[in-house]
Amino acid sequence: MLKHKIMTGLAVVLVGLSFSVMNTSAMGEDGSIVMTISPPRQDIVLVPGEVYEGTLRVSNSVNASKDLKYSVTIGSYGLDKDENGKANYDSTDISTVTEYNQIMEWIKLGKDHGSVAPNTTDTIPFTITVPEDAPAGGQYATIIVQDDTERDSEADKSIVIEDVVRFAATILAEVAGETRNEGAILENNIPAFMLNNKLAATSTVQNSGNVHTKASYVLQVWPLIGDEELCTNEENPTEHTVMPGTERMNTEEWCDTLPMVGIFRVKQTVKIFGETSVAERVVVVCPLWLLFIIIFALVSLVIWIVMKSRARKTRTKEQAKPSEA
């Protein structure tokens, strides 16, 4: 079984350089946005033998005082072994190509560098030439934009980028053909006892197909008696992309507004590739301090009962002794 894990979290460290992809923007010292790339993710369908044309936009902040220079490269989208299934962005070395990122060799950038004036947007065109014999299924890559602007003068201090020098926009492509949509839910677990109200239900799903998919997670909480939901994300389920040939572990936390003490009915519903798993459990929430008090009270009660029992036996024995003549 493959133990490769992946998450589409879009902020990672690569070769000592920080990527900003979740927000796809760099921040200046004054909190202003300096550079933005969009869209941060492109989900596309490719047809063997055809050419796909796409674009990526690079924007300079209205607060900037000078043009921003940048360079563009193609990077792979790797499959990490991290326990939580985090995505990683490998080097731009073409030797890193695997069965799921052959697309790196198919992408051709319209430019490898550019410049963006303040309050303007530059467009990076690219094409994806799909071979006739391209395998059906998922293909993944990143378009990496690196800020090459020099900022060494006093006038530039307001747009110094802190800890961010690169941005990666992901390309999640599906090559048309005989795709396999296969997967399974390996775990759906709810703990029965919690020491605080930060209950976290866990689950693990597996994508054994050859194309990425989304897994959804719904967590619902009710009081032990009653039907009024205390916590639910049913209308807005959590969704995560699960890459082909990988497993993904997810931790779903319940609302912060739940009582610190109580007994609840908890239900977690996990879905992937049309398969549904439902786990339901009665959960006891008891803080550690209260648990100590309860244990102390029980121990004290037991000691009191034992002492009372011994005292009663002693009195009984004394009463049973024959009186002296």
- Distance (Å, whole) CA 69 – CA 252: 41
Q: Are 7 and 240 in contact (CB under 8 A)?
A: yes
Q: Which residue has the higher pLDDT, 2 or 313?
A: 313
Closest CA to 84 of 240, 216, 190, 208: 240
Question: Do the domains spanning 13-175 and 183-285 agree at the CATH topology level?
Answer: yes
pLDDT bucket at 92, cuts 50 / 70 / 90: very low
> Residue 308: CB partners within 8 Å, gap ≥ 6?
none
pLDDT number for residue 47:
97
pTM of the model: 0.71
- The two beta strands, 137-147 and 68-79, are antiparallel
The CATH number assigned to the domain with range 13-175 reads: 2.60.40.10
Higher pLDDT, 17 or 117: 117
pLDDT score at 135:
94
282 band by pLDDT with thresholds 50, 70 and 90: very high
Q: Residues 109-157: pLDDT tens digits?
A: 999 999 999 889 999 999 999 999 999 999 999 999 988 887 654 444 4
Domain residue spans in the chain?
13-175, 183-285
Q: Report the share of the chain in percent with pLDDT over 70.
A: 74
Task: Tell me the pLDDT of the chain averaged across its residues.
Answer: 79
Q: What is the mean pLDDT of residues 237-258?
A: 87
Architecture of domain 183-285: Sandwich (2.60)
Among candidate residues 234, 203, 216, the one with its CA nearest the CA of residue 272: 216
What's the rounded mean pLDDT across residues 280-303?
81
Residue 31 has pLDDT above 50, yes or no: no
Section 95-104 average pLDDT: 78
Of 87 and 304, the structure prediction assigns the larger pLDDT to 304
